[in-house]
A and B are shown apart, each in its own frame.
Chain A
């Protein structure tokens, strides 16, 4: 690791092999994270809810049933 590494060049773009590997690795990790299935935890409430004819537990944080549809990513920021 103490020996000088290889540098790759395309026009004015220059990058060392370790830096390139790191950045490519990041892109791979990002894509894998997007595509890989995320393990779901077993939900005891699902069973209760199914027994009661409900699809699961509601969250109090999400207790809004009125308001405008979320049409824009940026409109209601802040």
Chain B
């Protein structure tokens, strides 16, 4: 670098020669994609006003109780709840929390289907939601196999044929209690909770979908942010994706 150049613009040159900071890049990317005000907004569009919106929250609340009761059950071991009154009660909490979780997950799915909530850049949110439901089914299945009672025995004997027919039985042995219990208390809770977190982040990034037939100004700006696969709209302009334009509702 010639000396005269560094004398003319010393600060800019040092900045240009500095190695790019990945941490700052990631932080800025996150801050742009989901500012904290949009992650936890205190206002919602006026069309957000129906009990249908509560289904998802109740499903998450139920999931929290499923995990909490499951932690207690796993702490005392799989045999505890068969011989202890307290254990039986905790198992009952687990059982009914799972029932409530599925009830409200399915109600949430019905509600979001009839709202066509995959519109305007929200298809990923819908798809992750369906995957959560599927993973939850397998999580519940491994839970039923981990009960150590007649139900678990029969489900294992009966379900092995279907699992074997797919070829998965060679690696996912429903007759192996240790394997089923392990994946039930570790793998599947982690998967479900992680996917729910991704789902929530996607919901907050995109905001709540606008009513069907609403005029275009109601649709949020994110739909044009160039992140929408398959969008029929033309690509976004630079102005559309600036933080100010896609910023929080405040």
Touch test A–B (CB under 8 Å): yes
Q: Verify B212–A22 contact, CB threshold 8 A.
A: no
| Alpha-carbon distance between A57 and B46 when the two chains are bound, in angstroms | 10
Could you tell me which residues of chain B, from 2 to 23, have a CB within 8 Å of some CB in chain A?
A: none
Q: Verify A78–B116 contact, CB threshold 8 A.
A: no
B216 adjacent to chain A (CB < 8 Å): yes
A26 adjacent to chain B (CB < 8 Å): yes
| Alpha-carbon distance between A56 and B119 when the two chains are bound, in angstroms | 25
Residue of B nearest to A68 (CB): B216
Which residue from A33, A62, A76 sits with its C-beta under 8 Å from B55?
A33
Complex interface: chain B residues within 8 A of A74 (CB): 116, 119
Task: From known contacts A22-B99, A70-B214, infer whether A38 and B51 are also in contact, taking CB-CB under 8 Å.
Answer: yes
User: How many chain B residues touch A (Cβ–Cβ < 8 Å)?
Assistant: 53
Number of A-B contacts (CB under 8 A): 117
| Alpha-carbon distance between A22 and B107 when the two chains are bound, in angstroms | 12
Q: Verify B230–A77 contact, CB threshold 8 A.
A: yes
Proximity bits, B44-68, A CB within 8 Å = 1, else 0: 0110011110110000000000000
Complex interface: chain A residues within 8 A of B54 (CB): 33
Complex interface: chain A residues within 8 A of B123 (CB): 77-78
User: How many chain A residues touch B (Cβ–Cβ < 8 Å)?
Assistant: 31
13 contacts between A and B (CB under 8 A): A32-B51, A34-B50, A34-B51, A59-B43, A60-B244, A61-B246, A61-B249, A62-B45, A62-B249, A67-B219, A70-B214, A76-B223, A77-B120
Mark B residues whose CB is within 8 Å of A. 38, 43, 45-46, 49-52, 54-55, 99, 103, 106-107, 110-111, 116, 118-124, 207, 210, 212-224, 228-233, 240, 244-250
Mark A residues whose CB is within 8 Å of B. 22, 25-26, 29-30, 32-34, 36, 38, 40, 56-57, 59-70, 73-78
Other contacts beyond A33-B111, A61-B207, A61-B247: 10, CB < 8 A: A30-B107, A59-B45, A63-B221, A64-B219, A66-B216, A67-B219, A67-B224, A68-B233, A77-B121, A77-B123
